[in-house]
């Protein structure tokens, strides 16, 4: 069972598994050319690729989009983020999937309107990843200039490989977690979804 391997071996398996998703490896390579500060490809495209491979589905099955986070607090205007989004649209031209780029230094400006709870300003891309609704989602990967993979996984990888969805009540409200979990279970019925803490 992959989730019981030592962490260094889990990291090797993670890279092997994620590399089976050719859209993901293409997005990683193209994002590296954008030179975004503190960037990661993150969220569903990562853990859902693992779930697909573990459950013998095609690696890209059910993946809605590919999220690219970066962190630039020097200019939190929409215009600055939009310029990066437009550069990304050019860089990702021809990728057969939606790629969504977001400056995590701006999240506190729109989060409450979208999710109904306030969000303190993030201090880094990592702190944004820390706040995902499920610990399983808290995963980021980027390519370093020397080609190595940098993996950020504050809760480890065991739940990802073991198909466990665990709530992370750091920021997102219970309803967001439960809606996501319901959607994921419809696509991956093998998931074990743990309840929100009372």
| pLDDT tens digit sequence for 28-55 | 999 999 999 999 999 999 999 999 999 9
Q: What pLDDT is attached to residue 2? A: 67
Structure tokens at 62: 């059910």
Burial of 120 (0-12, 13-18, 19+ CB in 10 A): exposed
Q: Which two tokens stand for residue 164?
A: 């466990």
More confident residue, 6 or 22: 22
pLDDT band at 117 (very low <50, low <70, confident <90, very high): confident
Terminal alpha carbon distance of the chain: 31
Say if residues 143 and 28 touch (Cβ distance below 8 Å).
yes
**Does the model's pTM come out above 0.75?**
yes
Segments of 81-143 assigned E as strands: 99-103, 140-143
Q: What is the model's pLDDT at position 1?
A: 63
Strand-strand pairing, 66-70 and 40-42: antiparallel
Reply yes or no on whether the pLDDT at 198 is more than 90: no
**pLDDT top residue among 9 and 68:** 68
Across residues 168-189, what is the average pLDDT? 93
Given strand 140-143, what is the order of strands in its sheet? 99-103, 66-70, 40-42, 140-143, 149-152
**Mean pLDDT rounded to a whole number for the chain:** 94
Q: Given a cut of 80, is residue 6 above it in pLDDT?
A: no
Contact present, 97 and 60 (Cβ < 8 Å): yes
The pLDDT of residue 8: 77
Q: What is the arithmetic mean of pLDDT over 142-146? A: 94
């Amino acid at each position: 069972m992959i989730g019981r391997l030592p962490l260094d071996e889990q990291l090797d398996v993670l890279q092997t598994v994620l590399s089976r998703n050719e859209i993901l490896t293409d997005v990683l390579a193209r994002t590296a050319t954008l030179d975004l500060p503190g960037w990661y490809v993150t969220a569903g495209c990562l853990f859902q690729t693992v779930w697909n491979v573990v459950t013998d589905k095609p690696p890209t099955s059910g993946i809605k989009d590919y999220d690219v986070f970066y962190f630039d607090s020097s200019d939190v205007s929409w215009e600055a983020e939009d310029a990066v989004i437009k550069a990304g649209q050019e860089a990702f031209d021809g990728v057969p999937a939606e790629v969504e780029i977001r400056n995590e230094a701006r999240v506190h400006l729109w989060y409450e309107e979208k999710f109904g709870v306030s969000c303190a300003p993030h201090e880094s891309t990592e702190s944004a990843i820390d706040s995902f609704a499920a610990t399983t989602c808290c995963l980021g990967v980027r390519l370093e200039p020397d080609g190595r993979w940098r993996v950020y996984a504050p809760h480890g990888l065991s739940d990802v490989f073991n198909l466990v969805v665990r709530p992370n009540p750091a920021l997102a409200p219970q309803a967001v977690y439960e809606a996501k979990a319901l959607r994921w279970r419809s696509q991956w019925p093998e998931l074990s979804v743990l309840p929100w803490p009372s």
